[in-house]
Chains A and B, each alone.
Chain A
Amino acid sequence: MLSSKNLLLKTKMTRRKQSRKPVSKKPNSIAKKPKFESNNPESVLPTLEDDGYEQIGEEGEDGNFSLKGSARSHSHGVQPLGNLYVSASSFNSRNTGLGNLQTLTDELVLDILGLLSGTHLGVLSTVSKSFYVFCNHDPLWKNLVLDTCSTGFLYNGSWKNTFVAHYTNSCNNIVSCGIKVRDFYSDYLFQSWLCANLEMKPEWVERDNIVRKRGISVDEFVSNFEEHNKPVLLEGCLENWPAMQKWDREYLIEVCGDARFSVGPLQMKLEDYFRYSDQVREERPLYLFDPKFAEKVPDLGTDYQVPKYFNEDLFSVLGDERPDYRWIIIGPTGSGSSFHIDPNSTSAWNAVIRGSKKWVLFPPDMVPPGVFPSPDGAEVACPVSIIEWFMNFYNATKSLKKRPVECVCKAGEVIFVPNGWWHLVINLEDSVAITQNFVSRRNLLNVLDFLKRPNASTLVSGTKDRVNLHDKFKNAITESLPGTLDELIVKAEEKKNEQKKLTFWESVTDSKVGAFRFSF
């Protein structure tokens, strides 16, 4: 029987580099909208029954899943393993069809298939029903496309069709319905399909406890939020951005022309990317994430300006040698980023121009449930898809003493993500946003410390010169802003001593101990 507990057993953990902004994907939502509209997040969450789903049944308070409006039952009829125990037939065609490979786990079988070329994968899919199902696992074909189509791709309904069309240079739309296979039970393959077709549950979206401010001064922002390293959602900062009026799909396609943007490992034209994002339905949709958008299309750079709160941008002393610092993010519903900490110990702001994003943030000293960073912080193991994290770990946050900061950031709003904070983001609808990372005097010392670390060559990101960045930056700061560094070091020492005193006093008087506190 399908329940969230069953799926818990099969959460696939994936390792990703902590130092790079991860490319992450999420299932798409209902009807594809050709234009960006600022929708209510609630409007993208219908609940629909699905034929192929009914046989599975639901259990427990978490057993209710809403599938996407146009979701069909698994295209090959894969059912979760639990169903095997209550089915009339007592055999699993997955095993009989794999022959000597049946003792391997699903992940291992897919690892092996992932080493094959497209031709071999295609031929292998004709060997047995079981191989048919495995070889048609679309993520396999996605990797083949990403490995072979360096100049971009024209998405054709599924990754397999895309690959075949590219391979045969065919422009025809190949419609592949898929054959349903009976008696095939596999938790891994079923979960993959489920995550690709699941809607965000209302209870995952509705909690919104971030502090919201409108029209505050820069000083207020610095003293109430930045200095305390507290996140905040700022309203009304984007009202004079030309982007807010201009950036609809037609305008963007026209102004970007043939420019190519980073999508995963590839560089793609914006129009081709929209073709993909309109059609795609998968666990982890690719999103467009480009650090040179303003250089590639200067008009985009002039359509926005940095909100006044974030004008202090100390990496600018490095001029052209500064690490990547600003990105345009375009992605369909379900795309986003699973838990990570921004690189180089920088802080960030993220402004939504179209669409809306759900954020979950944990302070630096709290590792989110379901997330396992390596000791040196270079790698983070976490669930494959963001939906999977919500399915399996969101509820665990309810029993934590300190609950995470959550919000939905809508078009026209900006969120401030303080340095060191864990954060997860998911697009609730097709979204366009701009984000910048920055260093101000408040986190300058943290950044220098981070860049000084012995494993800087793996952790530092956004630049080709990882090892020397610390020295370059320090020298540039000392030159451009003499005395600043020393001032800050003195201040930090004073603060440390204050805190030591405070701690002692507080321990004597039995009051709350701890320098860092946040409240909602």
Chain B
Amino acid sequence: MASSQENDVKKPETTITLKDDEKPETTITLKSSDGEVFEVPESAALLSYTIKIMVEDCRAGDVISLEQVDGKTLSWVITYLKKHAIDPFSEKDKDEFDTEFFSDKEFTSVVDIINAANYLNIKELLHTSTRKIADLMAIRWNRAMVGRIFW
């Protein structure tokens, strides 16, 4: 608003223009089987074909309930998706991240991730996690060792 004294000076319009990468991204709310709720950026969530279909079928703002994935596994999967949704993401960086991602996971956790990736239909994660289990089997193919990791 210009006062009478400032008539000659036009105040610049105060508009805020966000650059593309600063725009807040839509998030999708996911709920695990044990009730944990996660806010996930859309680009990450839509890497899961299952979530993509579910989103198409519901309204904006709805919570997507994932009955077959528990909270712990879902949080891992979300970490994976967020990282893989970054664009661009080079093959080398992907490999590094994937190796690190699985390095601290126990055998049973990897199995849970496989089940989750299968249910959520995330091709890359499924491929990497099955590969990880196969590698474990191959490394420890001594019969006694194999028995120990499976039971």
Contact = CB atoms under 8 A, between A and B. Distances in A.
A108 B118 contact: yes
Contact of A108 (B108, B130, B147): B130
Contacts of B118: 105, 108
A98 interface: yes
Interface in B69-124: 107-108, 111-112, 114-115, 118
A439 B134 CA distance: 48
B146 A124 contact: yes
Interface in A98-135: 98-101, 103-105, 108, 111-113, 115-117, 119-120, 123-124, 126-127
B23 interface: no
A115 B129 CA distance: 12
Contacts of A111: 130
A123 B147 CA distance: 12
Interface residues of A, number: 20
Interface in B130-144: 130-131, 133-134, 137-138, 141, 143
Nearest to A98: B150
Contact of A103 (B115, B131, B133): B115
B49 to A, nearest CB: 12
B146 A101 contact: no
Contacts of A113: 134
Interface residues of B, number: 20
A101 B111 contact: yes
Contact of A127 (B115, B138, B150): B150
A100 B111 contact: yes
A65 to B, nearest CB: 30
B141 A103 contact: no
A100 B151 contact: yes
Nearest to B135: A115
B130 A127 contact: no
B63 to A, nearest CB: 26
A261 to B, nearest CB: 33
Contacts of B143: 123, 126-127
A116 B138 contact: yes
Interface string B24-38: 000000000000000
A103 B113 CA distance: 11
A383 B130 CA distance: 23
B137 A120 contact: yes
B111 A104 contact: yes
A132 to B, nearest CB: 12
Given A100-B108, A103-B111, A108-B118, A120 B151 contact: no
B150 A100 contact: yes
Nearest to A127: B146
Contact of B114 (A98, A104, A127): A104
A103 B68 CA distance: 12
Interface string A441-462: 0000000000000000000000
B64 to A, nearest CB: 22
Contacts of B146: 123-124, 127
Interface string A127-159: 100000000000000000000000000000000
A101 B108 CA distance: 8
A99 B108 CA distance: 10
A110 to B, nearest CB: 10
Given A108-B118, A120-B141, A123-B143, A101 B150 contact: yes
Interface of A: 98-101, 103-105, 108, 111-113, 115-117, 119-120, 123-124, 126-127
Given A115-B134, A119-B141, A124-B141, 10 more contacts: A100-B107, A100-B111, A100-B150, A101-B111, A108-B114, A108-B130, A112-B130, A116-B138, A123-B146, A127-B146
Interface of B: 107-108, 111-112, 114-115, 118, 130-131, 133-134, 137-138, 141, 143, 146-147, 149-151
7 contacts: A99-B151, A100-B108, A100-B149, A112-B114, A116-B137, A120-B137, A120-B138
Nearest 8 A-B pairs (CB), nearest first?
A99-B150, A115-B134, A99-B151, A112-B130, A123-B141, A120-B138, A120-B141, A100-B108
